[in-house]
Amino acid sequence: MRRLPALTVDRGIGGLVLVFAVVAPFLVPQFWTANLLTQTLILGIVAASLIFLSAYGGMVSLAQVSIYGIAGFVVGNLTTNGNTKGLNLGWNPWWGVVLGIVIATIVAILFGALSSRSTGIYFLMITLTFAVIANYFFGQVTDLSGFGGISGIPAPKQIGPVDAHPWRLYYVCFGVALVLYALMRYVVRTPFGISLQGVRDDPVRMSSLGYNVRLHRTIAFAFGGFVAACGGVLFVWWNQHIDPASIQLSAVIDVLVIAVIGGLFRLEAAWLGAFVFVVLNNYVQRLGFWSLSTRFGTVIGLVFLAIVILSPGGLMGIWERLLSLAGRRRSQTPTAQAPLESGTVEPSV
Amino acid sequence: MSEAVVTEHAEPILRLRGVGRRFGGLHAVRDVDLDVAHGERRAILGPNGAGKTTLFNVISGDFPATSGSIHFLGQDVTGVAARHRAKLGMGRTYQKTRLFHGLSVEDNLYLAVLGVKQGHLRPVVVPKQDEELRGRARELIASVHLGGRESTLVGNLSHGEQRQLEIGMARASDPKLMMLDEPASGLSRGERVALTDLLLGLDPSITLILIEHDMDVALRVAQRVTMMHDGRVIVEGTPDEIRANQTVHDLYLGRGHQADG
């Protein structure tokens, strides 16, 4: 009961962030809503799929951006009409949503099945391979995209055109992010989710208890792919364009950096990390001094380095440490070890 | 005395014939024959490196045998995966505790109970089914004397408590055969006594195989003892026979050691 205050503060802040997200379009300049905040929500979704796999399945996947890209390319091919690369099928954007997510999830099942035997660094390398394959696939299969990519991807008419109504897409992204977040939070407390955490902690023990570890990993990977795919659909609506550079290695690393800056052990950290990343990315480019404007990579690299050294749990780790320090001062007992919520634990590296 | 039992289960619950396991050039287990009767309490003794744990891994299916055959409940399980053997009724613990450190005590047992049931992949909570699983998990928590620690993260339990939980995990699937790998290792004297009582209090229909270095625990719990050395079974007998056996003394207890009592 002693750690109730910390939990209350944590939830209170979470609630405030949600309220802010709801009223933000009325408070901040349109540039913020249409660009920074929408992009934060979308990148947060992809990073959350990575954090889900890492925190609950022990799988640090570099393929999330590829799966998100596959969903995006499917949407692009199906829904554009005439003047761009790709199949230009001109279908209703809602079909794009369904097929984009379904196809990307099927690919995720395949990737998951192929990588389900591997753990640790080997898993990382296999998913890196997937990322590279996806990148070159869309670059070289010119029927589907080519290096120039697909432009003019429309959002459904209920939401778009995005340039005219940026608020609508912002709220759609907010709603989707919220639903996916709630879904992931729910799933980790189901039989599937608890078993997944068992697989994370000790796969050998899980098999001797009667579990099919590879199947479990595969399905978890597919679920992570589904979440990333939802982000991919939103990305092409927001960006109206996708090309292989959108899923190249630097984009993969961006999402990994977001997840690490936020904190690889807690889902909320995805959006925190994405916000810091997007804001830094935007403002560093406007800084006039030290030629920093062209050196975003250097700046984010230094931020990354500082965070990894100061707090392996990322910004969320710093936050939790502050909360537990405050809690300790109040109660004079060391309750700091107890995490705020069951099921969240720092991965031991 | 146990003629009725013998005729009822003429077949042993576990039968090994010529079982071997190689790791490259190392022959960790070789040509082991073993029959364990239903409801028997068997201890496996032997010096470090004798192949006891490897034998466990081969029986439970964590490593497949490289030669020989394993029959469990009359069924050939030599090529059956570990998770299917668990469902047939094998439960085990590990020499080094293998628990899920990021989960609570109750969730650990929840997983152990769920393991041999349907619905591993169910992505929704079905309240009725879940309550049943959790009810069973809490029963097990009480049975291994961890009441009140339900929501403690396993990583924060003491070593002794983790060993207790290990036994709860092995019991959770209601196994017909329970294999305990050095359950008393690292325990204090008092904890060993508690553990022995816990083992003696187990349902007599459960067959128990125990690897144990602590002779007090092993010889109090076991009805029969199998002695291993260098990957082979060298002696098998009752605790009294083992205590009296000269080879055992030379190999395991060391020359000059006197059996007390």
ipTM (interface pTM) = 0.84
Evaluate if residue A287 carries a pLDDT over 80. no
Predicted confidence at residue B46, as pLDDT, reads: 87
pLDDT-based confidence at A289, cuts 50/70/90?
A: low
* Domain assignments of chain B as residue spans, ordered by start: 1-89+175-261, 99-174
pLDDT-based confidence at A286, cuts 50/70/90?
A: confident
- The reply to whether residue B153 touches residue A338, judged by beta carbons under 8 angstroms, is yes
Mean pLDDT of chain B: 88
Q: Residue B115 is nearest to which of A210, A342, A345, comparing CB atoms?
A: A210
CA distance B222 to B202: 12
In the structure encoding, which two tokens stand for residue A115, read together? 């990588």
Predicted confidence at residue A113, as pLDDT, reads: 97
Q: For residue A344, give the nearest of A183, A186, A124, A188 by alpha carbon.
A: A188
DSSP string of B171-236, one letter each residue: HHT--SEEEEESTTTT--HHHHHHHHHHHHTS-TTSEEEEE-S-HHHHHHH-SEEEEEETTEEEEE
- The reply to whether residue A342 touches residue B123, judged by beta carbons under 8 angstroms, is no
- The reply to whether residue B61 touches residue A208, judged by beta carbons under 8 angstroms, is yes
CA distance B175 to B77: 16
Q: What would you measure as the largest C-alpha separation in chain B, in angstroms?
A: 63
**Chain B residues with CB inside 8 Å of A218's CB?**
none
A82 in contact with chain B, both atoms CB, cutoff 8 A: no
CA distance A132 to A319: 35
In the structure encoding, which two tokens stand for residue B54, read together? 């490897």
Evaluate if residue A140 carries a pLDDT over 90. yes
Q: Residue B86 is nearest to which of A194, A202, A208, comparing CB atoms?
A: A208
Evaluate if residue A17 carries a pLDDT over 80. yes
B128 in contact with chain A, both atoms CB, cutoff 8 A: no
Q: Residue A194 is nearest to which of B107, B116, B153, comparing CB atoms?
A: B107
A342 in contact with chain B, both atoms CB, cutoff 8 A: yes
**Chain A residues with CB inside 8 Å of B110's CB?**
194
Q: Residue A207 is nearest to which of B83, B114, B119, comparing CB atoms?
A: B83
Smallest CA–CA separation between A198 and chain B, in Å?
6
Consecutive H or E run containing B50 = none
Q: For residue B36, give the nearest of B67, B62, B59 by alpha carbon.
A: B59
pLDDT-based confidence at B5, cuts 50/70/90?
A: very low
pLDDT-based confidence at A251, cuts 50/70/90?
A: very high
Q: What does the radius of gyration of chain A's CA atoms come to, in whole angstroms?
A: 20
DSSP, res A190: S
Amino acid at A107: V
Evaluate if residue A342 carries a pLDDT over 70. no
pLDDT-based confidence at A292, cuts 50/70/90?
A: low
Predicted confidence at residue B3, as pLDDT, reads: 44
Evaluate if residue A333 carries a pLDDT over 60. no
The residue in chain A having the minimum alpha-carbon distance to the alpha carbon of residue B124 is A190
Check: CB of residue A100 under 8 Å from CB of residue A237. no
Looking at per-residue pLDDT, the higher value among A285 and A145 belongs to A145
pLDDT-based confidence at A330, cuts 50/70/90?
A: low
Q: Is A32 helix (H, G, I), strand (E, B) or coil?
A: helix
The residue in chain B having the minimum alpha-carbon distance to the alpha carbon of residue A215 is B121
Evaluate if residue B4 carries a pLDDT over 60. no
**Chain A residues with CB inside 8 Å of B72's CB?**
none
Q: For residue B103, give the nearest of A334, A199, A216 by alpha carbon.
A: A199
Consecutive H or E run containing A228 = helix A213-239
Query: What value does the mean pLDDT take over residues A330-347?
Result: 43
Predicted confidence at residue A284, as pLDDT, reads: 82
In the structure encoding, which two tokens stand for residue B17, read together? 């014939």
Check: CB of residue A62 under 8 Å from CB of residue A127. yes
Consecutive H or E run containing B92 = strand B90-92
Check: CB of residue B76 under 8 Å from CB of residue B70. yes
Evaluate if residue B32 carries a pLDDT over 90. yes
B81 in contact with chain A, both atoms CB, cutoff 8 A: yes
- The reply to whether residue B120 touches residue A208, judged by beta carbons under 8 angstroms, is no
B101 in contact with chain A, both atoms CB, cutoff 8 A: yes
Q: For residue B249, give the nearest of B180, B212, B260 by alpha carbon.
A: B260
In sequence order, what are the residues at sequence separation of 6 or more whose Cβ sits closer than 8 angstroms to the Cβ of residue B238? B223, B224, B225
* Cβ neighbourhood burial of A180 (10 Å; 0-12, 13-18, 19+): buried
The upper half-sphere exposure of residue B23, i.e. CA atoms within 13 Å in the direction of its Cβ, equals 10
* Cβ neighbourhood burial of A289 (10 Å; 0-12, 13-18, 19+): exposed
Smallest CA–CA separation between B120 and chain A, in Å?
6
pLDDT-based confidence at B128, cuts 50/70/90?
A: very high
Cα dist. A309→A264, A272, A306, A314 in Å?
14, 18, 5, 9
Predicted confidence at residue A337, as pLDDT, reads: 40
**Number of A–B residue contacts, CB under 8 Å:** 104
Mean pLDDT of chain A: 89
* Cβ neighbourhood burial of A158 (10 Å; 0-12, 13-18, 19+): exposed
Q: For residue B114, give the nearest of A53, A198, A116 by alpha carbon.
A: A198
CATH number of B1-89+175-261: 3.40.50.300
B60 in contact with chain A, both atoms CB, cutoff 8 A: yes
Looking at per-residue pLDDT, the higher value among B9 and A328 belongs to A328
In the structure encoding, which two tokens stand for residue B226, read together? 């199998």
Consecutive H or E run containing B103 = none
Check: CB of residue A141 under 8 Å from CB of residue A74. no
Evaluate if residue A131 carries a pLDDT over 90. yes
Evaluate if residue B250 carries a pLDDT over 60. yes
Query: What value does the mean pLDDT take over residues B151-179?
Result: 91
Mutating which of B58, B77, B108, B120 best tests the A interface, going by the most A Cβ atoms within 10 A? B120
DSSP, res A62: S
Predicted confidence at residue B218, as pLDDT, reads: 86
In chain A, % of residues over pLDDT 90: 72
* Site of tokens 């799988």: A59
The sign of the torsion formed by the CA atoms of A275, A277, A281, A284 equals positive
CA distance A138 to A70: 9
pLDDT-based confidence at A288, cuts 50/70/90?
A: low
Evaluate if residue B106 carries a pLDDT over 60. yes
The residue in chain A having the minimum alpha-carbon distance to the alpha carbon of residue B108 is A198
Consecutive H or E run containing A274 = helix A269-284
The sign of the torsion formed by the CA atoms of A31, A35, A40, A41 equals positive
Q: Residue A194 is nearest to which of B83, B111, B155, comparing CB atoms?
A: B111
Query: What value does the mean pLDDT take over residues A296-311?
Result: 88
Query: What value does the mean pLDDT take over residues A175-188?
Result: 97
In chain B, % of residues over pLDDT 90: 64
Predicted confidence at residue B144, as pLDDT, reads: 87
Looking at per-residue pLDDT, the higher value among A47 and A288 belongs to A47
Evaluate if residue A338 carries a pLDDT over 50. no
Predicted confidence at residue B186, as pLDDT, reads: 85
**Chain A residues with CB inside 8 Å of B122's CB?**
190-192
Predicted confidence at residue A205, as pLDDT, reads: 92
Looking at per-residue pLDDT, the higher value among B94 and A339 belongs to B94
Q: Which residues pair with B122 in a beta bridge?
A: none
> What are B137-158's pLDDT values in tens digits?
999 999 888 999 999 999 999 9
The residue in chain A having the minimum alpha-carbon distance to the alpha carbon of residue B151 is A342
Amino acid at B203: D
- The reply to whether residue A342 touches residue B92, judged by beta carbons under 8 angstroms, is no
Predicted confidence at residue B198, as pLDDT, reads: 84
Q: For residue A348, give the nearest of A249, A247, A265 by alpha carbon.
A: A265
pLDDT-based confidence at A296, cuts 50/70/90?
A: confident
Smallest CA–CA separation between B245 and chain A, in Å?
35
The residue in chain A having the minimum alpha-carbon distance to the alpha carbon of residue B103 is A343
CA distance B218 to B241: 14
A207 in contact with chain B, both atoms CB, cutoff 8 A: yes
Predicted confidence at residue B13, as pLDDT, reads: 95
The residue in chain A having the minimum alpha-carbon distance to the alpha carbon of residue B97 is A205
Query: What value does the mean pLDDT take over residues A72-88?
Result: 90
Lowest-confidence region among A233-237, B132-136, B183-187:
B183-187
Mutating which of A205, A215, A226, A265 best tests the B interface, going by the most B Cβ atoms within 10 A? A205
Amino acid at B53: T
Strand bridging mode B14-23 / B67-72:
antiparallel
pLDDT-based confidence at B2, cuts 50/70/90?
A: very low
* Site of tokens 């082991």: B32
The residue in chain B having the minimum alpha-carbon distance to the alpha carbon of residue A204 is B62
**Chain A residues with CB inside 8 Å of B102's CB?**
197, 200-201, 343, 345
Evaluate if residue A23 carries a pLDDT over 90. yes
pLDDT-based confidence at B84, cuts 50/70/90?
A: very high
In the structure encoding, which two tokens stand for residue A233, read together? 């659909």
My answer on whether omega of the bond before A161 falls inside 30° of 0, hence cis, is yes
Interface of B with A in 20-49 (CB under 8 A): none
